[in-house]
């Protein structure tokens, strides 16, 4: 698979990574561990070198899964994980509970790093993101704590998630930021306003999560789809029956282009992302081998300038309905 550099940092990753959250968390009960280990190793065989996890996914069990799966090939891959939450003992495996709150105090960051290193079965974290900006801790202190971990050889690169352009600049002044991980896809493009220009100016890579709109852009979800109580999409405003019916227009656009290209809507959505900037590396997640193969094939799909123009022109006329998060989760997003 094509490799990409995350900005000017020198960190090289596969053009498409693998988001591992859904294997353990948020989209129903945790999947069979051995099957997921097999899926992660299949991704490595197919050229994926970039794997994303976090302590809060599970909590903890997703890091353990990723660590076990990648231990035999540790030198060939880049593992990203995250800090930034206090975790309640009753925070459950399906994501229905909530973390106790944000916590990016320097001493906590270092505690999380030590615990993550053990769960990941490694002596260094390749990319360590602040999961959400903590308004109670100056970002300069956060960047300083990660800088110390880098100096100690426990972390290689520093990342932020869902951070504003202003916060990115402040952090970058203390410790160069390698990558920003934020939601970005054809149905959530707010990063284009001021965040992406800031990343380009500073030489920072961009790692879009939910590049397939939590499954909606695959075309396999419509207004008749229902989600179980242990699937957090059941609580997302964008996945109400009314919103899904309205948002089908975006999937129809992808489907029409996919038909011309002998591709799938998911492949068009991923190829569109890859075409935006050379320093973008999306991390679609899946729990199914055939979906992994489908997603990875998007890296070989070329969209022409006419294709991209058509997607932009038509999608700009589609008013995507529904907030992406409930209010309590949206409040955790840096503005």
Active-site residue list = 57
Nearest by Cα to 130 from 152, 90, 151, 157: 157
Residue showing tokens 């916060």 = 167
Helix (H, G, I), strand (E, B) or coil at 155: strand
Nearest by Cα to 212 from 201, 221, 203, 223: 221
What is the secondary structure of 156-183 as a DSSP string?
EEEEEES--HHHHHHHHHHS-EEEEEEE
The rounded distance, in Å, linking the Cα atoms of 268 and 211 is 11
Judge whether 9 and 178 are in contact, CB under 8 Å: yes
Residue 144 phi/psi, 5-degree rounding, is -65, -40
What is the secondary structure of 184-244 as a DSSP string?
-BTTB-GGGTTHHHHHHHHTBEEEEESTTGGGGGGT---TT----TTBGGGG-GGGSHHHH
């Amino acid at each position: 698979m094509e490799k990409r550099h995350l900005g000017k940092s020198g960190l090289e990753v596969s053009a498409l990574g693998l988001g591992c959250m859904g294997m353990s968390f948020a989209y129903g009960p945790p999947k069979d561990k051995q099957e997921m280990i097999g899926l992660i190793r299949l991704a490595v065989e197919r050229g994926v070198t970039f794997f994303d996890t976090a302590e809060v996914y599970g909590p903890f069990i997703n890091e353990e899964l990723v660590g076990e799966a990648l231990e035999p090939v540790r030198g060939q891959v880049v593992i990203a994980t995250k800090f930034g939450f206090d975790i309640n003992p009753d925070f459950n495996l399906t994501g229905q509970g909530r973390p106790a709150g944000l916590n990016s105090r320097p001493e906590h960051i270092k505690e999380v790093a030590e615990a993550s290193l053990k769960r990941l079965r490694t002596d260094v974290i390749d990319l360590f993101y602040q999961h959400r900006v903590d308004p109670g801790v100056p970002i300069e202190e956060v960047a300083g704590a990660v800088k110390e971990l880098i100096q100690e050889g426990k972390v290689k690169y520093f990342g932020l998630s869902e951070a504003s352009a202003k916060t990115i600049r402040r952090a970058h002044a203390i410790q160069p930021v390698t990558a920003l991980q934020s939601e970005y896809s054809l149905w959530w493009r707010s990063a284009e306003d001021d965040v992406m220009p800031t990343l380009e100016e500073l030489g920072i890579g961009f790692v879009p999560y939910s590049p397939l709109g939590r499954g909606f852009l695959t075309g396999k979800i419509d207004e008749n789809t229902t989600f179980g109580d242990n699937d957090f999409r059941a609580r997302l405003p964008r996945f109400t029956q009314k919103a899904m019916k309205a948002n089908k227009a975006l999937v129809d656009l992808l489907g029409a282009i996919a038909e011309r290209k002998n591709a799938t809507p998911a492949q068009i959505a991923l190829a569109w992302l890859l075409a935006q900037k050379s320093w973008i590396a999306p991390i679609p997640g899946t729990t199914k081998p055939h979906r992994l193969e489908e997603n990875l094939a998007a890296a070989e799909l070329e969209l022409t300038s006419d294709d991209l123009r058509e997607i932009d022109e038509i999608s700009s006329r589609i008013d995507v309905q529904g907030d992406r998060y409930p209010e309590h989760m949206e409040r955790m997003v840096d503005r």
